[in-house]
Amino acid sequence: MLKGIPKILSPELLKVLAEMGHSDRIVLGDGNFPAESIGRNAIVIRCDGHGIPELLDAILQLFPLDTYVEHPVELMEVMPGDPVETPIWDTYQEIIARHDARANAAVGTVERFAFYDRARTAYAVVATGESALYANVILQKGVVVE
């Protein structure tokens, strides 16, 4: 065991976060996200039974967001005409604001199929048990400055 590491972060996920370099991306996929097919060329980590907000908060305690891009956090846009609400996005924005001075300005949205294309180039894909719709997130890693 280690001190100061959120317990929700498995050894495998910690290893991946440490391996990632500047500009590498990690996807937090909801329970409907096709993690195995999208992550065919990435490391896929199973976090079934965990929601994205808890994982996002834990990851952002250790993971700097990229300061060289406008939106180091990307959410999948709701398809036009889809009557889905996305209250989980408000939760994400609260979490991000606690960990990054840019707060909501760090968050952008990406059209659904473009999101899948970007996710295919991610270093890792985390498959979660998140039941909220359109809850998928891509995080782009920044530089640790100390």
CB of 128 closer than 8 Å to CB of 31:
yes
Q: Which of 24, 71, 99, 116 is catalytic?
A: 116
CA distances from 120 to 35, 54, 104, 124 (A): 10, 24, 25, 9
Is 22 among the residues known to form the active site? yes
3-class DSSP assignment, residue 97 = helix
3-class DSSP assignment, residue 36 = helix
3-class DSSP assignment, residue 70 = coil
Kindly state the tokens that stand for 66: 């990229």
What is the helix (H) or strand (E) element at residue 137, kind and residue range? Answer: strand 137-140
Q: Which of 22, 82, 90, 117 is catalytic?
A: 22
Q: Which of 30, 66, 123, 134 is catalytic?
A: 66
At position 91, the amino acid (one-letter code) is: T
Is 123 among the residues known to form the active site? no
Q: List residues with catalytic annotation.
A: 22, 66, 116
